[in-house]
């Protein structure tokens, strides 16, 4: 349950903090306490907006503690390389271009205060602290510093590149008269998804339960759901009805009655691993909470059908259906190594995934995978600008550079006749897959080549 709620928190944070933008300006307000922070350069603002959009900052390199078993570490979050929001990052460059073109304007003192408050807040919003921290979270995210630090400057009908460029609650969408171009427009509204949130609801609203809500209404709805969680009593295992570290599970071995109870540390009937303590798993065959297997033991099996997964105790990996210790730096490996390391030439070596670092596969260099794994963005971020070549992380090819396949090319480009070519709005295309928007205009109208429809921005 908590991962789902944290995801909702993060979605709303992205919507609040990174929904607008503009050139660096000093705000007259000193709300939030203390004097005004020092002014930022345009590049620093772009990096800060990028970090807040990805929310890579609040747990970067830190150790998450199990608040249901106080003091027990769950895992250490890997330190993401500096280029996550550096000059090669698409999100950084999108913000930088809009800042330099005066399409977005930033009150840098408010932006910095919002950033610092959010960092401090996220250190408390985990596990059992979730409900207790909610009032603080609501106050910070709806504060003047977070709501009004970034403002769009582009009026409806004018060209844009990001939703953040647009004034008010407008969105950056393909122009009806020319689908190859993007302009600021009133959002259409209607049924929405997390992925279509800004395009359907507008940049200042949130999609919750398939409906467009104001941020304030969405927060209040989420708060109401949290406050309704039970501390005890009967519950439905198919619903999120229990507080904090409790799970809806049978109250004794063999019992069919389900109550809000601490996660099981004994062999009780279960339907999902979330009903068991983190040192246990819900065995697929017996449907009983079972101690996680250790080194040399057969891997446990959880899930159903094609979604079945093999599991082992914390710190172990499952290879050839048996649990084994995860290799450390310098130790022999097949595929898996401890966090922060990669398996290259049969041995675990340290790697941050930065350019020039060792790798064995593309995901070793894909720091956006780290963002997707540890955070819950409103939409999938663009592909990483890095890939693995000759066991070394390298920058993908830019437009007009030589390529072998489209995976060699940077975001927004594809490989055509050994050259990286644009797949953005207005580019030539023969099929829908040639376009970033996955829509090629006029390919069935008897013309030799069509044109790519402009893709709706991610941010």
Reported as a single tens digit per residue, the pLDDT across 380-432 is 455 678 888 888 888 899 999 999 988 889 888 999 999 999 999 999 988 88
Q: Are 119 and 58 in contact (CB under 8 A)?
A: yes
160 and 68 belong to one structural domain: yes
* CB atoms closer than 10 angstroms to residue 148: 16
The answer to whether residue 206 sits within a structural domain is: no
Q: Are 244 and 273 in contact (CB under 8 A)?
A: no
Q: Which of 292-301, 344-353, 378-387, 388-397 has the lowest mean pLDDT?
A: 378-387
Count of structural domains, the chain: 4
Q: Are 408 and 396 in contact (CB under 8 A)?
A: yes
The answer to whether residue 6 sits within a structural domain is: yes
Q: Which domain holds residue 359?
A: 326-395
155 and 261 belong to one structural domain: no
Mean pLDDT of 238-265: 83
Task: List the one residue out of 55, 122, 59, 40 whose CA is nearest residue 85.
Answer: 55
Q: Which of 173-187, 290-304, 384-398 has the lowest mean pLDDT?
A: 384-398
Residue 252 phi, psi (nearest 5): -165, 155
Q: How confident is the model at residue 269 (pLDDT cuts 50, 70, 90)?
A: confident
pLDDT value of position 453: 93
Q: Are 193 and 233 in contact (CB under 8 A)?
A: no
Instruction: Give the Cα separation of 198 and 192 in Å (integer).
Output: 9
Q: Catalogue the long-range contacts made by 262-270 (C-beta closer than 8 Å, 24 or more residues apart).
A: 262/68, 263/68, 264/289, 265/289
94 and 147 belong to one structural domain: yes
On the question of pLDDT at 121 being above 90, the answer is no
CA dihedral 140, 142, 147, 148 (to 10 degrees): -80
55 and 101 belong to one structural domain: yes
In the predicted model, what is the mean pLDDT of the chain? 77
Write the DSSP assignment of 9-76 as a string of letters. HHHHHHHHHSS---EEE--S--TTSSSPPPP--HHHHHHHHHHHHHT-SSSTTPEEEETTSTTEEEEE
133 and 159 belong to one structural domain: yes
Q: Which residues contact 12 (CB under 8 A, 6 or more apart)?
A: 141, 206, 215, 218, 219, 222
The answer to whether residue 401 sits within a structural domain is: no
Mean pLDDT of 20-25: 29
Q: How confident is the model at residue 166 (pLDDT cuts 50, 70, 90)?
A: very high
pLDDT value of position 161: 94
Instruction: Give the Cα separation of 4 and 264 in Å (integer).
Output: 21
269 and 379 belong to one structural domain: no
Instruction: Give the Cα separation of 7 and 161 in Å (integer).
Output: 26
The answer to whether residue 215 sits within a structural domain is: no
On the question of pLDDT at 9 being above 50, the answer is no
Q: How confident is the model at residue 202 (pLDDT cuts 50, 70, 90)?
A: very high
On the question of pLDDT at 22 being above 50, the answer is no
The answer to whether residue 208 sits within a structural domain is: no
On the question of pLDDT at 95 being above 70, the answer is yes
On the question of pLDDT at 36 being above 50, the answer is yes
User: End of a domain among 140, 168, 196?
Assistant: 168
Residues 61-89: tens digit of each pLDDT? 455 555 566 655 555 555 555 556 778 87
Instruction: Give the Cα separation of 368 and 383 in Å (integer).
Output: 7
pLDDT exceeding 70 applies to what percent of the chain?
A: 76
Higher pLDDT, 189 or 126: 189
On the question of pLDDT at 203 being above 80, the answer is yes
Instruction: Give the Cα separation of 127 and 68 in Å (integer).
Output: 7
Q: Which residues contact 264 (CB under 8 A, 6 or more apart)?
A: 247, 249, 270, 275, 276, 277, 280, 289
The answer to whether residue 189 sits within a structural domain is: no
User: End of a domain among 373, 395, 417?
Assistant: 395
On the question of pLDDT at 56 being above 70, the answer is no
The answer to whether residue 140 sits within a structural domain is: yes
pLDDT value of position 187: 95
On the question of pLDDT at 326 being above 80, the answer is yes
Mean pLDDT of 270-292: 89
On the question of pLDDT at 450 being above 80, the answer is yes
The answer to whether residue 321 sits within a structural domain is: no
How many Cα atoms sit within 13 Å of 329 on the Cβ side?
Answer: 7
The two tokens of residue 300 are 């446990």
Q: Are 315 and 295 in contact (CB under 8 A)?
A: no
44 and 155 belong to one structural domain: yes
pLDDT value of position 382: 58
Mean pLDDT of 28-51: 68
Mean pLDDT of 373-379: 37
Instruction: Give the Cα separation of 421 and 117 in Å (integer).
Output: 42
User: End of a domain among 264, 291, 318?
Assistant: 291
How many Cα atoms sit within 13 Å of 281 on the Cβ side?
Answer: 18
Instruction: Give the Cα separation of 19 and 234 in Å (integer).
Output: 41
Write the DSSP assignment of 155-195 as a string of letters. PTTSB-SSGGGBSTT-EEEEETTEEEEEEEE----SS--ST
CA dihedral 359, 363, 368, 371 (to 10 degrees): -100
On the question of pLDDT at 130 being above 80, the answer is no
Mean pLDDT of 11-21: 29
pLDDT exceeding 90 applies to what percent of the chain?
A: 26
User: pTM for the whole thing?
Assistant: 0.74
pLDDT value of position 355: 82
19 and 121 belong to one structural domain: yes
Tokens 């008897």, located at residue: 446
Instruction: Give the Cα separation of 185 and 192 in Å (integer).
Output: 17
Task: List the one residue out of 95, 194, 200, 112 whose CA is nearest residue 149.
Answer: 112
pLDDT value of position 3: 33
pLDDT value of position 149: 86
250 and 386 belong to one structural domain: no
354 and 412 belong to one structural domain: no
SS3 7: helix
147 and 250 belong to one structural domain: no
Q: Are 230 and 243 in contact (CB under 8 A)?
A: yes
159 and 17 belong to one structural domain: yes
Mean pLDDT of 166-182: 94
């Amino acid at each position: 349950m908590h991962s789902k709620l944290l995801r909702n928190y993060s979605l709303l944070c992205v919507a609040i903090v990174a929904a607008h933008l503009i050139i660096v300006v000093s705000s007259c307000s000193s709300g939030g306490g203390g004097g005004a922070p020092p002014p930022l350069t345009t590049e620093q603002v772009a990096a800060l907006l990028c970090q807040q959009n990805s929310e890579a900052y609040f747990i970067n390199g830190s150790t998450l503690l199990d608040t249901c078993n106080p003091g027990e570490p769950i895992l250490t979050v890997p330190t993401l390389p500096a280029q996550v929001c550096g000059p090669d990052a698409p999100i950084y460059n999108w913000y930088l271009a809009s800042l330099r073109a005066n399409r977005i304007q930033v009150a840098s003192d408010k932006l910095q205060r919002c950033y610092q408050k959010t960092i401090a807040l996220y250190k408390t919003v985990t596990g059992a602290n979730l409900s207790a921290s909610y009032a603080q979270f609501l106050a910070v995210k709806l504060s003047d510093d977070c709501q009004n630090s970034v403002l769009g400057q582009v009026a409806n009908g004018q060209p844009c590149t990001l939703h953040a460029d647009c004034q008010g609650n407008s969105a950056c969408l393909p122009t009806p008269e020319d689908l190859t171009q993007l302009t600021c427009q009133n959002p259409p509204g209607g049924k929405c998804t997390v992925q279509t949130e800004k395009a359907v609801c507008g940049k200042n609203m949130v999609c919750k339960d398939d409906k467009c809500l104001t941020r304030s209404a969405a927060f209040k709805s989420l708060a109401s759901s949290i406050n309704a969680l039970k501390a005890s009593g009967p519950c439905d295992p198919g619903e999120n009805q229990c507080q904090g570290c409790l799970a809806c599970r049978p109250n004794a071995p063999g019992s069919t009655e389900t109550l809000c109870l601490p996660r099981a540390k004994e062999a009780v009937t279960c339907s999902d691993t979330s009903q068991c303590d983190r040192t246990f798993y819900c065995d697929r065959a017996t449907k009983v909470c079972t101690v996680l297997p250790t080194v040399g033991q057969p891997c446990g099996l959880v899930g159903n059908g094609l979604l079945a997964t093999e599991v082992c105790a914390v710190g172990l990996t499952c290879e050839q259906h048996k649990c084994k210790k995860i290799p450390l730096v310098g130790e022999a490996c097949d595929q898996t190594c401890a966090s922060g390391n990669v398996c290259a030439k049969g041995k675990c070596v340290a790697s941050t995934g930065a350019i020039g670092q060792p790798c064995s596969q593309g995901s070793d260099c894909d720091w956006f995978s780290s963002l997707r794994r540890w955070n819950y963005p409103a939409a999938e971020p663009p592909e990483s600008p890095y890939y693995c070549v000759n066991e070394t992380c390298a920058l993908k090819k830019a437009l007009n550079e030589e390529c072998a396949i489209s995976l060699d090319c940077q975001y927004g480009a594809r490989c055509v006749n050994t050259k990286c070519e644009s797949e953005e709005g207005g580019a030539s295309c023969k099929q829908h897959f040639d376009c970033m928007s996955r829509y090629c205009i006029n390919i069935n109208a008897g013309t030799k080549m069509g044109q790519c429809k402009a893709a709706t921005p991610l941010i």
